[in-house]
Amino acid sequence: MNLLTQPKLLKKHDKSFQIEWKDGHESWFPYSYLRQMCPCAECAIIRHEGKDVHSLFSPQGDGDIDRIDVSDDIQPLDIQLVGRYALQFSWDDGHNTGIYPFEILREICQCPKCAPLPPIQNEEETE
């Protein structure tokens, strides 16, 4: 198994979801960003202006995430583990068809190391 795509810790915060990986890397995903990156077919089509693409990492890439209209304070009502390989988020806008494989979550990490531009501020620890 690849340590890069295995979570050691999963944690819900007020505005972000935190994943600590077995290789020691840490990812913080703002919920609005995760919602916009939803890997389901429906959202992929919206991001690609109606073109039928089947996956987030199709040759066409992830499309234009700003085409997914989400409120800044979107929250997950529920987060379920799908087997050992993915998470399913049920969002409070009623959308719940996105299954996010850990492999993809690691790939879309927005930390300064993985995605140097634009910088995203980590949420302060609230506990």
* Closest C-alpha to 38, from 6, 11, 76, 12: 76
- Write the DSSP assignment of 89-123 as a string of letters: EEETTS----EEEHHHHHHT--STTT--SS--PPP
* Interface pick for Zn ion out of 34, 37, 38, 56 (rule CB under 5 A): 38
By the rule CB under 5 A, 65 interacts with Zn ion: no
Distance from C-alpha of 121 to C-alpha of 28, rounded to nearest angstrom: 9
* Interface pick for Zn ion out of 6, 10, 33, 40 (rule CB under 5 A): 40
| Binding piece for Zn ion, criterion CB under 5 A, among 10-18, 39-47, 76-84, 85-93 | 39-47
Residue 77 or residue 114: which is nearer to Zn ion going by CB? 114
- How big is the CA angle at 43 (ends 85 and 5), to the nearest 5 degrees? 20
Residue 40 or residue 65: which is nearer to Zn ion going by CB? 40
SS3 15: coil
By the rule CB under 5 A, 30 interacts with Zn ion: no
Contacts of 44 (CB under 8 A, 6+ apart): 53, 54, 55, 56, 58, 63
Residue 83 or residue 94: which is nearer to Zn ion going by CB? 94
Binding mask 74-113 vs Zn ion (x if CB under 5 A, - otherwise)?
------------------------x----------x-x--
- Least distance from Zn ion to the Cβ atom of residue 25, Å: 6
Residue 12 or residue 112: which is nearer to Zn ion going by CB? 112
